[in-house]
Structure 1
Amino acid sequence: MNRTALRIAFVSILLSAVACNKKEDHSLGAFHIDIATVIPTGESGYRLLLDNGKQLWPVATDVYYLPSDDQRVFVNYTVLSGRQGNYDHYVKVNDIWNVLTKKIIGPATEHADSIGNDPIIINDAWIGNDYLNIDFLFNYGGVRPHAINLVTAPKPAASVPDTIELELRHNAFGSTSQRLYEGFVCFDLKPLQRADTDSVILALKAREGEETKRVDLVYRYNQMLVEARLTTPIPVVSSNEYY
């Protein structure tokens, strides 16, 4: 197992301890793990926007990280202060690693050769900070990374108005593995915003074996979660194994 996988597996074991550290604890021994959006500041600096709207300013770090625009990350951090200027907290970044962050593509018929139609299971899906976050299971294996994409789909005649049909697609590139692994991906929803309404309904579908699962979500533009959430252990399989 590579260093990234070992690190993530170790963090997964510690998630139960994280819940106990969610108070405003500024102890150097306390830590938090959250999903965040990276916002670069200057040549190599960055700030972090949590899905509950809080902004973190990394004033210390244990790891080198090169930021890029609109990259989603898991971040392990220690709170060093209360509110300072425009920031809710100054923090020390203990570890940070990128989450696969992608644009929606479509329609499916135009990308049939690349998106595949292999089974994929939606464990959980929710919206935060204009991103659709999906925790999924897939039969990882083979000699190359698998492809995970979100594509627009034709709207059924009986669909509810203002509903956008989306399909989570998986290309296993011929892998015959039946062993399930957990993955995590974020999709940018901002291109789906419309000027004539402040929200749309997303009908998210995925082929789970012989059946299709559907999850309906309401996307309210620019709305933060009341409480940033991480409902599942961070996947042991990193985004190096899928793209």
Structure 2
Amino acid sequence: MKTQSFIRKGFFILTALCLSMGGQSCLDDDDNNLSLSHYYANALVTVKQSADNTPYLQLDDSTTLRPVNMASSPFGEKEVRALANIELADEAPQEYDKAVFINWIDSILTKPMAPNLGEEENNRTYGNDPVEILNDWVTIAEDGYLTLRFATRWGNGQPHFVNLISTKNPDNSYEVEFRHNAFGDTEGKMGDALVAFKLDELTDTQGETVKLKLKWNSFSGEKSAEFDYCTRKATNPQAQEVTAIRCTKKVK
């Protein structure tokens, strides 16, 4: 997959959209069993396929979920990170850890890491415009991905470009940098978005949990944060990342 894939800027206001589409039925009468809690994401998962192309969900580094109402993946054969609203199901989990019913599932942009081109070319290609990495439950390193919720300024509708590169730090092979190119669109209101980066280009941790250091250029200067990270066990090596547009504002 090309690294120059796009997502729309701004974090998708899922609640507002769902309420606009289905809120009326919730208020009509007691025959409708929908709960307001169904409108909110309660799980961040990786949508995968088993060897026989049966879809399943990876909830974290070790928990697998059998989606009882999903016979085929809505994302085809491709692996993707997604937000979902799920609830435990009474059916047998079979070879998985738990059986779940999916109320809804919505993919987020899933990308490979980009190559480090050297500082000058990195600035030219990937940019170094400021962002804020939000301390949120979806900002996490798990299942071989670094998923980030970030915020920046959006103004003229110009798509923004986001990437993750290795810093090539000789003293820390688990140091990465978030890069953001706003292409001059640096004015306007703050808004946020989600992106997930596959970390399979990093050195294998050999089953150990290490500290993954993330660096980024914030509105107040360079910042960093650490995540617990362990190389994920192989599942379906043929699966590919998928770019999914799920936001209401443009980013790339």
Q: Does 1:48 align with 2:57?
A: yes
Q: Give the TM-score of the pair, scaled to structure 1.
A: 0.70
Tell me which of 195, 205, 208 is aligned to 1:198. 208
Shift >4 Å, 4+ stretches: 27-32, 41-45
Give percent identity, aligned residues only. 26
Map of 2:175 onto structure 1: 165
Q: Distance in 2 between matches of 1:64 and 1:103?
A: 21
Map of 1:20 onto structure 2: none
Q: Give the aligned length.
A: 208
Q: Distance in 1 between matches of 2:206 and 2:104?
A: 41
- Letter of the structure 1 residue corresponding to residue 174 of structure 2: I
Query: Aligned to 1:180, what secondary structure does the other structure show?
Result: strand
Tell me which of 148, 155, 159 is aligned to 2:169. 155
Tell me which of 170, 174, 181 is aligned to 2:184. 174
For each residue in 1:115-149, what CA deviation from the matched residue of structure 2 results, as whole angstroms up to 9, or x when unmatched?
11111111134211121121211112323321111
Q: Distance in 1 between matches of 2:107 and 2:180?
A: 20
User: What runs of 5+ residues in structure 2 fail to find an aligned partner?
Assistant: 1-10, 20-32, 234-245
Larger RCO (alpha carbons 8 Å, 6+ apart): 2
Q: Which has the higher strand share?
A: 1
User: What runs of 5+ residues in structure 1 fail to find an aligned partner?
Assistant: 13-26, 224-236
For each residue in 1:59-82, what CA deviation from the matched residue of structure 2 results, as whole angstroms up to 9, or x when unmatched?
326x98233433100011232225
Q: Distance in 1 between matches of 2:42 and 2:207?
A: 34
Report deviation, 1:202.
2.4
Map of 2:141 onto structure 1: 127
- Letter of the structure 2 residue corresponding to residue 181 of structure 1: G
Of the structure 1 ranges 140-149 and 41-50, higher mean CA displacement relative to structure 2 is found in: 41-50
Map of 1:19 onto structure 2: none
Map of 1:71 onto structure 2: 80
Map of 1:116 onto structure 2: 127
Q: Give the TM-score of the pair, scaled to structure 2.
A: 0.68
Contact 2:215 2:222 in 1 (8 A): yes
- Letter of the structure 2 residue corresponding to residue 7 of structure 1: L
Report deviation, 1:155.
2.4
Alpha-carbon RMSD: 3.4
The structure-2 alpha-carbon separation of the partners of 1:89 and 1:118, relative to structure 1 and needing over 3 Å to count, comes to same
